[in-house]
A and B are shown apart, each in its own frame.
Chain A
Amino acid sequence: MSGDIYKILYCSKNLIEGEHAQQDAEISQILQAARRNNKEQNVTGALFFNSSYFAQALEGPKLAIERIFEKIQRDPRHGDVTVLSSQTSGQRDFPEWSMAHVAPPDEVASASMAVTLDTALSHPAASADGVIGLLRSLVIQED
């Protein structure tokens, strides 16, 4: 597909209650729904979560991204959504994933993600590249 790719990256607070297992179940449901819908709309991206935060990158046709973003905004399972960046670009960061699940492989990676997101929420504009970079590196490690 030619044309510009519209990208948005946001962080939000995780408001899902309950134990780890319950959280994991919710997340896998979110991922499944996202993968199903995104494929149809030519949208790709990545989702990270821990017990405090979500970070999600979405990329694809502008209208589709706007519609998906609006749906995400209505979701009660998160709050305090901070948009770290939104831009058009010639290429995708996550071309192979309709919605990659970013799971830090170890304690160190988890801690570094948590610190990056903490910084991102206090300095949204400055840290978008860092978050994207981290998301990418962790996706690739998972595969």
Chain B
Amino acid sequence: MATAQPLPMNLSPSTVIAPRGRNQGVLVFDRSHRVVHASNTLPALLQLPSEASLLGEAVEQILRLSFGEKGATASAITQWLDQPATLSCAVIEPPLVLLTAADARVIHATLCSISEQFRIATFDDMSPMEVQSNAPALAYRDPLTGIGNRSLLERKLDEALIRLRSGEVESVAVLFLDLDRFKAINDTLGHATGDELLRLVCGRLQSALRVSDTLARMGGDEFAILLTAPSGREVASALAARIIDLIERTYLIDGQIMNVGASVGLAVAPCDGVTRDDLLKNADLALYYSKAAGRGVFHFFEPSMAEKAQLRRTLEFDLRKALVLRQFELHYQAQVNAENGSIFGLIASLRWRHPQRGLLLPVEFLPLAEETGLAIPIGEWVLRRACRDATSWPDSVTIAVSVSPLQFESDKLASSVEGALHAVELPGNRLEIGVTEEILLRNNSSVLKTLTALKALGVKVVMDSFGTGLASLSQLVNFPFDKINIDQSLLAATQDDVKSRAVVRAIAVLGDSLGIATLAGGVETSEQLMRVRSEGCSSVQGFYCTKAVPAGELAALFVTLIPPFSSERLDRSDP
């Protein structure tokens, strides 16, 4: 017998090795358990990569991929593969019964010795027919998770709607699901972990479904489930609640513990639509609503959601025109020394003078700007405008501008800042750039690169709204911040909220020992002013000192002491 171990002549793939059908897969391997042939049915049957990529791999490795260790451990499989054969060309008993890891189909594996050199393993799908038909063919399969893809869902939905029209079923429900906080895991723990998480999510979803339900990955971290008979609202609600609970449970991947959430939207035919497009669109709208409603919840589609989506589209259309039509303006709020009340800086706050809706606050349009990418050109306008306004202020007064995560990601932030400073010849040290906690969670090296480039321009870099819980103190000290702005939510807490007070004090102490200034935002009462001062914050900002005013009203601010620090007010509120 040749040592190179080519397939014996009488075993061409078209004869003995040909599988009987889609539900049978065949694997030929040599004495060292290396695969020399795999049938083209095998990848779909066992949810493996293409048959070509299996050649030369160890059989044990392939079986582990398909079956995990359910039903048979690695050592049991090796033992089984090595069973002695008394006769050549004989079936070796006993067969092995295995469960596919991804969708728990029952596979019977039979071993046959065909010569001293080669053995054939035959895999037969013995699951009930309805389960078998759930294993999607290649064109309908999501390669990452092995479940169906968008095409499968659309095809199954079309079939279900035909049965709905013929009266065979009473209702059909479509459930859209989107993971919350998945991006953060992908960004911080890497794509391999993200992919594994998606597979575990699929497994959990599958474990909650009936065989008649169809699960599909629509792309990214978005999944859809089609529920046919019985699929009324009660069944669908129970499933949605169960799925959210399952997905939110802790994951353990490669020794790391992680959590994601799930938001769900549902649309039920016939009342929410009778065409494929309407149902998918409405389930998506309901999902969007759930995400906006705080995530981790499910909502059924309601016609008002379509109206809101229409309003949002209108707002987006208006927002796209607003820059050209010069509808944006900047208001400024003073940042003052906590001890003597002197103004050392002004923070820019964007307003949109909407022709019909009046003066809009950032919270009313910035999330939309961020979503649509408009945050970048709008942010650049803010930078240029703020720098220009600052040239008319006393030299000692800095201008603070907060940038959005999107602007930060665009990699052009440092050059935009440089351009804005140069255009009006404003020295870099007059500008403070505020960044959100969110960016600390992203790719450290590129974040650090941008922050360093900003500092090289002489610009001060400030951590905005710190203390909302996203970033930790240790992440804070890893970046070269010049100032920490403490989030106003920590001040809004009542006086006896010991925890919030302790957090404020900890940040102030940390800042003090690292030589980083601290500013308490959102100071609205004299009591809060006294408190943050006693906790050790070096500066404050908030309605109690001054509200945000248009650039034209600033001149008055620079010549008078702001009210809370005039001696009269201080006397009254100082204990």
CB distance from B102 to the nearest CB of A (A): 13
Scoring B residues 238 to 260 as 1 if CB is less than 8 Å from chain A, else 0, what string do you get?
Answer: 00001001100111111101000
Could you jot down 12 A-B contacts, CB within 8 Å?
A: A6-B255, A10-B250, A67-B68, A67-B69, A70-B200, A70-B252, A73-B251, A74-B203, A81-B249, A83-B250, A83-B252, A88-B255
CA A62 to CA B254, docked complex, whole Å: 8
- Asked if B242 and A69 sit within 8 Å, CB to CB, the answer is no
Which of A8, A74, A79, A88 is within 8 Å of B252, CB to CB?
A8
B314 interface contact, C-beta 8 A: no
> Closest residue of chain B to A86, judged by CB?
B257
Secondary structure class of chain B's binding surface, majority of residues? mixed
In residues 21-67 of chain A, which contact B (Cβ within 8 Å)? 40-41, 62, 64-67
> Closest residue of chain A to B206, judged by CB?
A74
Question: Which of A64, A76, A82 is packed against the most chain B CB atoms within 10 Å?
Answer: A76
The answer to whether A74 and B73 touch (CB under 8 A), given A86-B257, A88-B255, is: no
CA A136 to CA B40, docked complex, whole Å: 53
In the assembled complex, which residues on chain B have CB atoms less than 8 Å from the CB atom of A66? Answer: 252-255
In residues 526-546 of chain B, which contact A (Cβ within 8 Å)? none
> Closest residue of chain B to A72, judged by CB?
B249
In residues 402-432 of chain B, which contact A (Cβ within 8 Å)? none
Which of A6, A67, A73, A76 is within 8 Å of B250, CB to CB?
A73
In the assembled complex, which residues on chain A have CB atoms less than 8 Å from the CB atom of B246? Answer: 73-74
CA A75 to CA B68, docked complex, whole Å: 19
- Asked if A65 and B252 sit within 8 Å, CB to CB, the answer is yes
- Asked if A74 and B204 sit within 8 Å, CB to CB, the answer is yes
Which of A6, A40, A83, A88 is within 8 Å of B73, CB to CB?
A40
B468 interface contact, C-beta 8 A: no
CA A67 to CA B199, docked complex, whole Å: 12
CB distance from B199 to the nearest CB of A (A): 10
CB distance from B479 to the nearest CB of A (A): 25
In residues 49-101 of chain B, which contact A (Cβ within 8 Å)? 68-69, 73
CB distance from B99 to the nearest CB of A (A): 12
In the assembled complex, which residues on chain A have CB atoms less than 8 Å from the CB atom of B207? Answer: 74
Interface residues of chain A, those whose CB is within 8 Å of chain B, are 6, 8, 10, 40-41, 62, 64-67, 69-70, 73-74, 76, 79, 81-83, 86, 88
CA A67 to CA B200, docked complex, whole Å: 10
Question: Which of B73, B203, B255 is packed against the most chain A CB atoms within 10 Å?
Answer: B255
> Closest residue of chain B to A6, judged by CB?
B255
CB distance from A93 to the nearest CB of B (A): 18
In the assembled complex, which residues on chain A have CB atoms less than 8 Å from the CB atom of B257? Answer: 83, 86
In the assembled complex, which residues on chain A have CB atoms less than 8 Å from the CB atom of B69? Answer: 41, 64, 67
- Asked if A41 and B73 sit within 8 Å, CB to CB, the answer is yes
Given contacts A41-B69, A88-B255, 11 further A-B contacts (CB under 8 A): A6-B255, A62-B254, A65-B252, A66-B255, A67-B69, A69-B252, A70-B203, A74-B203, A83-B252, A83-B257, A86-B257
Q: What number of B residues sit within 8 Å (CB to CB) of A?
A: 18
CB distance from B572 to the nearest CB of A (A): 42
In the assembled complex, which residues on chain A have CB atoms less than 8 Å from the CB atom of B250? Answer: 10, 73, 81-83
> Closest residue of chain B to A69, judged by CB?
B252
In the assembled complex, which residues on chain A have CB atoms less than 8 Å from the CB atom of B68? Answer: 67
- Asked if A86 and B252 sit within 8 Å, CB to CB, the answer is yes
CB distance from B474 to the nearest CB of A (A): 16
> Closest residue of chain B to A88, judged by CB?
B255
- Asked if B249 and A73 sit within 8 Å, CB to CB, the answer is yes
The 10 closest A-B pairs by CB, nearest first: A73-B249, A74-B207, A69-B252, A66-B252, A83-B250, A81-B249, A83-B257, A86-B257, A74-B204, A81-B250
Question: Which of B69, B250, B254 is packed against the most chain A CB atoms within 10 Å?
Answer: B250
CB distance from A92 to the nearest CB of B (A): 17
Scoring B residues 212 to 255 as 1 if CB is less than 8 Å from chain A, else 0, what string do you get?
Answer: 00000000000000000000000000000010011001111111
In the assembled complex, which residues on chain B have CB atoms less than 8 Å from the CB atom of A82? Answer: 250
CA A79 to CA B245, docked complex, whole Å: 8
Scoring B residues 158 to 200 as 1 if CB is less than 8 Å from chain A, else 0, what string do you get?
Answer: 0000000000000000000000000000000000000000001
CA A74 to CA B252, docked complex, whole Å: 13
Question: Which of B68, B253, B257 is packed against the most chain A CB atoms within 10 Å?
Answer: B257
CA A78 to CA B251, docked complex, whole Å: 15
CB distance from A85 to the nearest CB of B (A): 10
Question: Which of B69, B242, B246, B249 is packed against the most chain A CB atoms within 10 Å?
Answer: B249
In the assembled complex, which residues on chain A have CB atoms less than 8 Å from the CB atom of B200? Answer: 70
Scoring B residues 132 to 176 as 1 if CB is less than 8 Å from chain A, else 0, what string do you get?
Answer: 000000000000000000000000000000000000000000000
CB distance from B250 to the nearest CB of A (A): 5
Which of A10, A41, A62, A79 is within 8 Å of B255, CB to CB?
A62
In the assembled complex, which residues on chain A have CB atoms less than 8 Å from the CB atom of B253? Answer: 66
CA A106 to CA B245, docked complex, whole Å: 34
CA A61 to CA B75, docked complex, whole Å: 15
- Asked if B204 and A86 sit within 8 Å, CB to CB, the answer is no
The answer to whether A86 and B255 touch (CB under 8 A), given A41-B73, A70-B203, A74-B204, is: yes
> Closest residue of chain B to A81, judged by CB?
B249
CA A88 to CA B257, docked complex, whole Å: 13
CA A6 to CA B251, docked complex, whole Å: 15
In the assembled complex, which residues on chain B have CB atoms less than 8 Å from the CB atom of A8? Answer: 252
CA A74 to CA B200, docked complex, whole Å: 10
> Closest residue of chain B to A68, judged by CB?
B252
CA A82 to CA B249, docked complex, whole Å: 8
- Asked if A73 and B73 sit within 8 Å, CB to CB, the answer is no
CA A6 to CA B203, docked complex, whole Å: 23
